[in-house]
Amino acid sequence: MVHGRVSRLSVSDVRFPTSLGGHGSDAMHTDPDYSAAYVIIETDAEDGLKGYGITFTLGKGTEVDWSRERRGASGNGGRSQCSVGPVGQAGGKASLEVACGHEEHMLTRGYPAYTTSCAWLGYSDDTLKQLCKEALRDGWTRFKVKVGADVQDDMRRCRLIRDMIGPEKTLMMDANQRWDVPEAVEWMSKLAEFKPLWIEEPTSPDDILGHAAISKALVPLGIGVATGEQCHNRVIFKQLLQANALQFLQIDSCRLGSVNENLSVLLMAKKFEIPVCPHAGGVGLCELVQHLIIFDYICVSASLENRMCEYVDHLHEHFKYPVRIRQASYMPPMDAGYSTEMKEESVKKHQYPDGEVWKKLLAAQKN
């Protein structure tokens, strides 16, 4: 192993104007610009070893994480990502081949995924139809739709997408914490006709007992509760599991304290026999979480029953080692590290507010 001391730390405020196309829009966040405080740690190691880390945000507030990380403080304004740089052959072919017997399945068929890219709340019906049609053509069988702003509009959009994908495909719903407990139960009672597998984040992510009440109320409707992307430590997950508050556990590769904290949650999920279906998307979340889901399957759960990982088809072109999707499945990464490194040109162009992209946009807004 190469050893070296940290010699330099740089932080960039990188923002992508996703709000212009309605990408990422939901009932809680209507116009997000997917962004990141991007950290590069350089060392004095002879081979030039570097580490890379991100804190994913929705644009506003990135400067808070940026300033904290410049001072060496941990980010908590968005999704803190502590794991930086090469961490060995995580997910690489060599490590898979010495794992627990399921490596061949991962290498040939991958880890099942679902798509959220078709049904952001800000998309027009025409856009939704077109993207759904393309997803079906590409082999997707699992779809998630954003809900929570208006129940009549939710019913209309859910009917549209259910009619397009047919009764045999899997449909999930995501309210992004929009409801209180009674409202969540009432709302989902109206959406139950569309046969969702789960309702994601139906209420505040910190309301353990609220999730438990919703979970119990939805059992007769055959609808599960999925949550976890906003949970910041293993203790919250422990309480959700002990309270029978969820049927699908959603880790987030940046919200939790990097790899170690995520692994402890995977182990608890195994103990409680609750399937892990990670949250992903944003800036680099798919790239990071692919390592965790493959580790979970190979070394912890040894099961794909009721398991799938979110996929959002945005911003992967800005990463040096982008995630690979084949037949609606995550294929194992073959490069060392945590897939966090972004392309230098992308970082340069999208730095806020002085990068080329933002100079043009801010100038246009002034005019």
Which overall architecture, per CATH, does domain 6-73+343-365 show?
A: 2-Layer Sandwich (3.30)
* Mean pLDDT (whole number) for 44-65: 81
Closest CA to 315 of 7, 24, 4, 12: 24
For the chain, give every domain's residue range: 6-73+343-365, 94-331
Q: Please provide the average confidence, as pLDDT, over all residues in the chain.
A: 88
Q: Can you tell me which residue has the tokens 């309702």?
A: 199
Alpha-carbon gap, residue 367 to 359, rounded angstroms = 12
Tally of CA atoms within 13 A in the half-sphere of 154 that contains its CB: 24
Q: What local confidence, expressed as pLDDT, does residue 62 receive?
A: 73
* Mean pLDDT (whole number) for 312-339: 95
Instruction: Yes or no: say if 320 and 341 are a contact pair by the CB < 8 Å rule.
Output: yes
Q: Tell whether the model's pLDDT for residue 183 goes beyond 70.
A: yes
167 phi, psi to nearest 5 deg = -75, -20
Q: How far is CA 102 from CA 108, 173, 294, 303, in A?
A: 10, 30, 10, 9
Q: What local confidence, expressed as pLDDT, does residue 86 receive?
A: 34
pLDDT cut 70: percent of the chain above it: 88
Closest CA to 291 of 318, 319, 258, 316: 258
Bridge-based pairing state of the strands 224-227 and 248-249: parallel
How is domain 94-331 classified at the CATH fold level? Answer: TIM Barrel (3.20.20)
* Mean pLDDT (whole number) for 215-240: 96
Q: What local confidence, expressed as pLDDT, does residue 365 receive?
A: 87
314 is catalytic: no
> Which residues, including other chains, have CB under 8 Å from residue 261's CB and lie 6 or more apart?
233, 234
Structure tokens at 189: 């009672």
pLDDT digits (tens, 9 = 90+) for 90-112: 333 334 444 546 788 898 999 99
Q: Tell whether the model's pLDDT for residue 255 goes beyond 80.
A: yes
Residue among 23, 144, 211, 279 flagged as catalytic: 279
Alpha-carbon gap, residue 367 to 365, rounded angstroms = 5
29 is catalytic: no
Four-residue CA torsion sign, 139, 165, 145, 183: negative
Same fold for the domain at 6-73+343-365 and the one at 94-331?
A: no
**How is 218-265 classified by DSSP, letter by letter?**
HGGGT-EEEE-TT--SHHHHHHHHHTT--SEE---TTTSSHHHHHHHH
Please state which of the ranges 102-111, 147-156, 185-194 shows the lowest mean pLDDT.
Answer: 102-111
Q: Tell whether the model's pLDDT for residue 336 goes beyond 90.
A: no
Please state which of the ranges 69-73, 114-118, 209-213, 306-310 shows the lowest mean pLDDT.
Answer: 69-73
In this prediction, residue 70 has a pLDDT band, given cuts at 50, 70 and 90, of low
Residue among 146, 211, 318, 350 flagged as catalytic: 146
In this prediction, residue 2 has a pLDDT band, given cuts at 50, 70 and 90, of low
pLDDT digits (tens, 9 = 90+) for 11-31: 999 999 998 888 877 778 888
